[in-house]
């Protein structure tokens, strides 16, 4: 673990894999309520890569600033570039899950020269309907208020019970307990301000910009997650207009394929990244 000071805050950054080797760097970005610990089941893949798992602001061991605007994806793009500079990485592949996928997508659009490959799991390019966006902002504001009023434990219990995570009921009890414990280590102000500053309704949708992405992309969704499967199919079609793109639907998995089908998820990512040539395309048709 290391704390990196930049742009007035501290980020927690975990280095995984063989950092003495010459494997390509891979940045790992967790979802809302997660942390670097999200990627424990992915660690075996980091024998092939120099993995860097980053705690977002308000999560894990990173700072929880008082100003919600400090959490915005625009500020995050600047922070991400600064983290890479600190680590001596001119470029890297980026893997983002859910909220981390939204952040990864926007970083790739803002700094495409820094991203060698993009892997998005259960990610969204944003909410297109303006009324739906306003409703989501209001919902996130109310949830943030609840977190600050009630504390972490009641919120985590409600969060884990939402339909989006229904398929996780099939996970082993020990896995579910470990996931809950990881979420409980967050602090109220951090999660609340993350919702206020980085919630899904805060950013304008970027469906119309997907064709700007020049890097190879792997778009992953769980077969049981109908909403994000449809989003994945649409994103893959948009990015494929200009970039080498692979769509992977993980069977018998919901929103968190990396947790529900860890071996298949890991192999899917490794196969994709390992199949890239220096020119950023696969050596054979997929």
Q: What is the pLDDT of residue 286?
A: 33
Dump the DSSP string for 239-256: HTTTS-EEEEEETT--S-
Strand blocks (E) in 8-91: 9-17, 25-29, 50-54
Q: What is the pLDDT of residue 1?
A: 60
d(CA 108, CA 15): 21
pLDDT in tens, 180-233: 999 999 999 999 999 999 999 999 999 999 999 999 999 999 999 999 999 999
Query: What residue segments make up the domains of the chain, in order of their start?
Result: 2-125+204-274
**What is the fold of 2-125+204-274?**
Rossmann fold (3.40.50)
d(CA 62, CA 32): 14
Q: 4-23: b or e for each residue (b if 16 or more CB lie within 10 Å)? A: beeeebebbbbebbeeeeeb
Q: Quick one: which of 69, 80, 57, 48 has its CA closest to 10?
A: 57
Contact residues for 278 (Cβ-Cβ < 8 A; gap 6+)? none
CB 209 within 8 A of CB 238: no
Residues in the chain predicted with pLDDT less than 50, given as ranges, are 283-286
pLDDT in tens, 258-277: 999 999 999 999 999 998 85
Q: What is the pLDDT of residue 18?
A: 67
Q: Quick one: which of 270, 285, 278, 231 has its CA closest to 119?
A: 270
Q: What is the pLDDT of residue 276?
A: 85
What are the distances in angstroms from CA 144 to CA 29, 62, 149, 151? 21, 18, 9, 10
CB 104 within 8 A of CB 81: no
């Amino acid at each position: 673990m290391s704390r990196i000071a930049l742009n007035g805050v501290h980020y927690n950054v975990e280095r995984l894999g063989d950092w003495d080797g010459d494997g390509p760097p891979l940045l790992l970005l967790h979802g809302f309520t997660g942390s670097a610990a999200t990627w424990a089941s992915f660690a075996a893949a980091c024998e092939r890569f120099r993995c860097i798992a980053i705690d977002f602001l308000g999560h894990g061991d990173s700072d929880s600033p008082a100003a919600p605007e400090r959490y915005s994806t625009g500020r995050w793009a600047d922070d991400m570039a600064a983290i890479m500079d600190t680590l001596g990485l001119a470029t890297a592949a980026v893997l983002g899950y859910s909220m981390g996928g939204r952040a990864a997508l926007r970083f790739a659009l803002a700094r495409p020269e820094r991203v060698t490959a993009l892997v998005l799991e259960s990610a969204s390019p944003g909410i297109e309907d303006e009324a739906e966006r306003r409703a989501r902002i209001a919902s996130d504001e109310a949830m943030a208020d609840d977190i600050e009023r009630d504390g972490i434990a009641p919120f985590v219990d409600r969060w884990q019970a939402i339909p989006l995570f229904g398929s996780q009921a099939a996970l082993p009890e020990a896995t579910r307990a470990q996931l809950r414990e990881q979420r409980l280590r967050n602090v109220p102000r951090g999660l609340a301000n993350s919702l206020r500053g980085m919630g899904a309704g805060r950013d304008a949708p970027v469906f119309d910009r997907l064709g700007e992405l020049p890097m190879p992309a792997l778009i992953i969704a769980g077969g049981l997650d109908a909403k994000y499967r449809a989003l994945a199919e649409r994103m893959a079609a948009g990015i494929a207009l200009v970039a080498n793109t692979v769509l992977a639907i993980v069977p018998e998995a919901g929103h968190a394929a990396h947790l529900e089908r860890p071996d298949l998820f890991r192999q899917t990512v490794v196969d994709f990244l390992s199949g890239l040539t220096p020119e950023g395309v696969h050596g054979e048709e997929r």
